[in-house]
Structure 1
Amino acid sequence: MSRETLFNAALLLGLLLVPIWALLTDEPFTITLATRAVILALAAAGLNIALGIGGLVSLGHAVFFGIGGYAMGILAHHAQGFTPLMEWPFVIEGTKSMPVIWLLAIVVSALAALVIGLLSLRTTGAYFIMITLAFGQMFYYFAISWSAYGGEDGMSIYVRNDFPGLNTLAPIQFYGLCLALLVVVLVFSARLRRAPFGLSLNAARQVPARLEAVGLDPMRLKLVAFVISGAITGLAGALFADLNRFVSPTMFSWQFSGEIMVLVILGGVGRLFGPVAGAVTFVALEHVLGGLTEFWHIYLGLILLGVVLFARGGITGLIAGREASHD
């Protein structure tokens, strides 16, 4: 068994045991921190499909995170009875059901990724980065101007949505739900990268001309990957809104897009558990160093600089040693 596999297993075991320990010692805040790490890992896992396999450096992935969050927030807002969802005298059934909200968040985020991808993938390199950034800023300022749903102040959600058979208000149960979704996405990502689509997408990143020579369209492959990536990140946004019971335009900000990318780079670009390692490290640093100084990002920057210069495979690649060289 490789060192990377052992590290991944230890990381997953830690995600299982730490919340249980927190529950037994009556430390609900630790469970909340772990839930935040898992949701951020889910968002980063979505980006890792586009970035790690497809080589698409997107500075606009917060768009899909924000769309997922607002999809959840808007449905919850109307389910709370403030205003009818439509002019009809009823609220659509199921607007407080998590599976319904997840489906809406995934579909809307995927459609947004399709439109953005069709326009952005006409360019490459720095131009692609700037177009995705421009879309992020467009959605950010639209959310600020959307006064019906809080505008710049955001929108509070007073109740957490429901999941059949679970008490989602119990921190440990909501955490278990988020962790289960992360595991499903990681299994999906593992199968995707080994499937013919994943192998073709990797080839499109490295040698697109050869891919065209065998009759495959690199742009179409990258577009599909971008849509899948956006859908997963949108799901993470819906969970994040449910965790905080609040949505705001900052979910669309370019700073948050950069934060998601930092998680992937920190953990290891293209590594299956890279987003998980990056998210856990980020949340741990935020909690520990944030309690010491408000300028804790300085230390994060130094760590990220060290990773980029001396551990190109991220934390996961550093643990794996020479096994990281194939990236």
Structure 2
Amino acid sequence: MFTDRTRLRNALLLALLVAALLVPLLGQPYYSKLVARVVIFALVAVSLDLLVGYAGLVSLGHAAYFCLGCYVAGTLPSIGVHSAFLVLPGAALAGALFGLLTGAISLRATGLYFIFITLAFAQMAYYVAGGIRPLGGLDGFALKVPTTLPGGYELNQPLVLVWVSTALLILTLWGAHRLVRSPFGMVLQAARDNQGKLAAIGLPAYPARLAIYTVSASVAGALYANLTEFVSPASMSIFVSAEFLFMVILGGVASLFGPMIGALVFVALEQILSGLTVHWIFWLGIILVLRVLLLRRGLYGFFQR
């Protein structure tokens, strides 16, 4: 028998598929790009939820993963590589290597110190990218050649990008769902709840946390570069990391599907509030405060009730 949670998850996936299939058919590139933006942000939010919700690691440097993927998609075509089967794995690999190197140091700290270290590494990456003059420095550069699929399809085409992003999101959700319910996922959640007890039975938390910190990188950055057709260090700023964290908290941590809702609501609020006032970020802060005070489990928990 299906539980309420299973029905809700099926409904969310169905809604996602309907949006991905029907909205682009309106023939308006603006709405197609808007759907692609939601799906891409949902990819990032789900990967961040693995850290925040299941590992208990609040990171303010996740935008660095994201922007590295943008740079991979923007620089590989300069050496003749623009196939999606090389660019997308390359983006994920670049983020994973960055996570492995920085996580090996960051995970030596806990709590507030961990947050500041992740922020420091992201800011270091920001200024390094901004100092590379051949890539435009802080101004960035336009994407000259889009990522391509077999058959000549290009990811800068809104309809193609929606299809590919949706497929990758569903694949990511399936993989994340299997991961958090595996023995590795149980160890990860035990480390989040009580590292002392985990160590008492001979299971150190550090290797599991380093593994999840490494694999939480996604291909979203490469997709975003094709969406905007522009690459800039601004994509790895603290403000972008804060936006990703906002999506996870708003939707509900440790739920996987909650961050998807958070990404959808964030983009909707961004579109609505920015059209009403230039101080729309202030109202996002008010909404986040209300979520913390009134919705302990986020929007996902609210919908479950």
Contact 1:4 1:319 (C-alpha < 8 Å) held by counterparts: no
Note if 1:228 corresponds to 2:215. Answer: yes
Query: Residue 217 of structure 1 is aligned with which of 201, 204, 214?
Result: 204
Assess, with a 3 A threshold, how the Cα gap between structure 1 residues 287 and 66 changes in structure 2: closer, same or farther: same
Q: CA deviation at 1:166?
A: 6.1
Q: CA deviation at 1:48?
A: 0.8
Amino acid in structure 2 at the alignment position of 1:217? P
Amino acid in structure 2 at the alignment position of 1:110? A
Note if 1:71 corresponds to 2:55. Answer: no
Assess, with a 3 A threshold, how the Cα gap between structure 1 residues 291 and 10 changes in structure 2: closer, same or farther: farther
Name the structure 1 match of 2:253. Answer: 269
Identity %: 42
Amino acid in structure 2 at the alignment position of 1:213? A
**1:15-62 deviation per Cα after TM superposition (whole angstroms, max 9, x unaligned):** 222343333332221111010010011011111111110000111111
Write out aligned runs for 1:181-220 (5 A). Answer: 181-220=168-207
Name the structure 1 match of 2:7. Answer: 6
Name the structure 2 match of 1:135. Answer: 121
**1:57-77 deviation per Cα after TM superposition (whole angstroms, max 9, x unaligned):** 11111111111111111112x
**1:61-108 deviation per Cα after TM superposition (whole angstroms, max 9, x unaligned):** 1111111111111112x1xxxxxx4xxxxx4xxx11012011111112
TM-score in terms of structure 1 length: 0.89
Secondary structure in structure 1 of the residue aligned to 2:254: coil
Name the structure 1 match of 2:303. Answer: 319
Note if 1:259 corresponds to 2:227. Answer: no
Query: Residue 121 of structure 1 is aligned with which of 99, 104, 107?
Result: 107
Assess, with a 3 A threshold, how the Cα gap between structure 1 residues 5 and 303 changes in structure 2: closer, same or farther: farther
Query: Residue 153 of structure 1 is aligned with which of 136, 139, 142?
Result: 139
Write out aligned runs for 1:287-326 (5 A). Answer: 287-321=271-305
Contact 1:2 1:320 (C-alpha < 8 Å) held by counterparts: no
Contact 2:82 2:145 (C-alpha < 8 Å) held by counterparts: no
**1:220-250 deviation per Cα after TM superposition (whole angstroms, max 9, x unaligned):** 1111110111x22xx1111111111111011
Secondary structure in structure 1 of the residue aligned to 2:279: coil
Contact 2:195 2:205 (C-alpha < 8 Å) held by counterparts: yes
Superposition RMSD on alpha carbons, in Å? Answer: 1.5
Distance in 2, matches of 1:265 and 1:188, equals 21
Q: CA deviation at 1:209?
A: 1.2
**1:266-295 deviation per Cα after TM superposition (whole angstroms, max 9, x unaligned):** 111111201110100011111122222222
Secondary structure in structure 2 of the residue aligned to 1:204: helix
Name the structure 2 match of 1:144. Answer: 130
Distance in 2, matches of 1:144 and 1:179, equals 31
Q: CA deviation at 1:296?
A: 1.8
Name the structure 1 match of 2:48. Answer: 47
Secondary structure in structure 1 of the residue aligned to 2:172: helix
TM-score in terms of structure 2 length: 0.95
**1:132-179 deviation per Cα after TM superposition (whole angstroms, max 9, x unaligned):** 110011011111111110101101013321012462344222201000
